[in-house]
Structure 1
Amino acid sequence: MDPLAFLAGAAVAAGACAAWVSQRRVTRLRRQLTAERHAACHDPLTGLPNRRAFYSRGAELVGDPHAHPLVAVVLDVDGFKQINDVYGHSAGDEVLVTIGHRFASCAGEGPRRGIVARLGGDEFAGLIPERDGEPDEQAARLADMLAAPMRLGGQVVSVSTSVGLVPVEPSAHLADAVHRADAAMYRAKRHTQRRRTPLVTHQHVLHTSLRRELPTHPTSAT
């Protein structure tokens, strides 16, 4: 074999190998960068946008006249600490994931799609398309949807949420809208607490405010 031809072939092969290795490295770095960007803007438990992403994307939605009419929503899970105490923290995580996924289904589709986020703990917020009815009616329907039965710790349970919902005007400040929705949520929570019998023990909690036993059949909802 011609030594020059052999060397030329070896050089081409080495170059191709180096290019392949380089491409793999670039691909790996791109994947790492994408994962880091996603992690920076999303809640690791529910996969929803986090507080940072909510306020960034939410400001864009509020400032976009084509995105309206919108409502701002703030909600949290009633008695969440007691859920953790009675069922355990892994069950509490299941509740947050289920509530988050149900709430996300309200964000809409296409160009009018809103944003639903987990702000932290058991608190969620959203900017979603306005539905028919007064704000209190919309909030009540959302709370009913979120309270659909779910399977938790081998039982079928219903977990309630307190929901605050307010209309958002075009050019409004997002922080102001969230503050008003938060205040509405606490009014709803106080109203719910006034209607409850005071809880004495975890056993009493288990059979009253935290769950509603359903007929024994294999039905479950997620």
Structure 2
Amino acid sequence: MKKARGKVASRGPAAKKRPGRAASSKSAAKSTAKSGSKTARLNKTIPSKRKRKPAAAPLAKVRRQVSALKTELAAAQARSDELQAWADTDFLLDIYNRRGFERELDRSLAYMRRYKATGALVVLDVDRLKPINDTFGHAAGDAVLKGVVAVLMRHVRSSDVVGRLGGDEFGLLLWNLTEVDALAKAAALEEAIDRLTFVFKGHSVVAGASTGTAPIDAATDAASVMEAADRAMYARKTLRRDRAHLAL
């Protein structure tokens, strides 16, 4: 007996259909979208580590700052010049002190060496200042010194240099003078100061002064010319000692 042909029954569960290419692309797109959305959320929550560059100052502000700095610098320079002048000035007499005079002497000698110029140094000593101080007080002595400086300033040119070397001693740096002219100038200074008369406590007082000169040329140095003028002054002072007088 022949068995009837029939369909062979499937032994397992029915097989599922495999997804096609379109389904795979759609699934990948969804996955990418989800990933992008997650990254965007992370970027919003994590602060950026990059530092922002400071904004450039406006040009007008920079110019104001530069102008202010220039003003401060000019004020500082003026203050420095003022302090330098104070350090070189005799405040009682308003002329150079020894420090200032020696600085000017060094400058002048450098100029003379370079340009072959000449001049003379005069050292002047007030003869009777100590007795005046002892008898009438230091205020009287200060008045004598001021009177002497007034005479010196009337007898020198604007290019010459006058300074107080200390106590009753003065220095004069005279430009473009021969030794003969310098000796004549020194004699004129002595004569003018000898004529000065001061009155203290009803007494007429004459101080007098002695001078010494030394020529300056391109080969001169400061120490030697100061020493030479000082020696000449003391020699002159010895000669004048008997003539110098104090009228009381």
Q: Is the TM value for this pair above 0.5?
A: yes
Higher relative contact order (CA 8 A, sep 6+): 1
> Which residue of 98, 102, 114 maps to 1:55?
102
Kept after mapping to 1: 8 A contact 2:193/2:209 = yes
Quick one: percent identity of the two aligned structures? 28
Aligned equivalents of 1:27, 1:174: Cα separation in 2? 34
> Which has the larger displacement, 85-94 or 145-154?
145-154
* CA RMSD in angstroms, aligned pairs only: 3.2
Using a 3 Å threshold, how does the CA distance of structure 1 residues 155 and 26 change in structure 2: closer, same or farther?
farther
Q: What is the aligned length?
A: 182
TM-score (norm 1): 0.68
Using a 3 Å threshold, how does the CA distance of structure 1 residues 47 and 67 change in structure 2: closer, same or farther?
farther
Task: Compute the displacement of 1:176 (Å).
Answer: 0.7
Kept after mapping to 1: 8 A contact 2:203/2:247 = no
How do 1:111-150 residues align onto structure 2 when only pairs under 5 Å count?
113-129=159-175, 130=177, 133=180, 136-150=183-197
Aligned equivalents of 1:140, 1:28: Cα separation in 2? 45
Task: Compute the displacement of 1:155 (Å).
Answer: 5.3
Kept after mapping to 2: 8 A contact 1:149/1:156 = no
Unaligned residue ranges in structure 1 (runs of 5+): 1-15, 197-207, 213-222
Using a 3 Å threshold, how does the CA distance of structure 1 residues 156 and 31 change in structure 2: closer, same or farther?
farther
Aligned equivalents of 1:72, 1:52: Cα separation in 2? 16
> Which has the larger displacement, 154-163 or 121-130?
154-163
Equivalent in the alignment of 1:215: none
Q: Deviations over 1:109-143 (max 9, x none)?
A: 3xxx1211101111111211326846544322221
Task: Compute the displacement of 1:156 (Å).
Answer: 5.1
TM-score (norm 2): 0.61
Equivalent in the alignment of 1:173: 221
Q: Indicate the structure (1 or 2) with the bigger Cα radius of gyration.
A: 2
Q: Deviations over 1:69-91 (max 9, x none)?
A: 31111111112110101221001
Q: Deviations over 1:17-46 (max 9, x none)?
A: xxxx99998887666444322210111111
Kept after mapping to 1: 8 A contact 2:120/2:215 = yes
> Which residue of 118, 130, 136 maps to 1:87?
136
- 1:64 aligned counterpart, secondary structure: helix
> Which has the larger displacement, 77-86 or 144-153?
144-153
Aligned equivalents of 1:96, 1:182: Cα separation in 2? 19
Equivalent in the alignment of 1:13: none
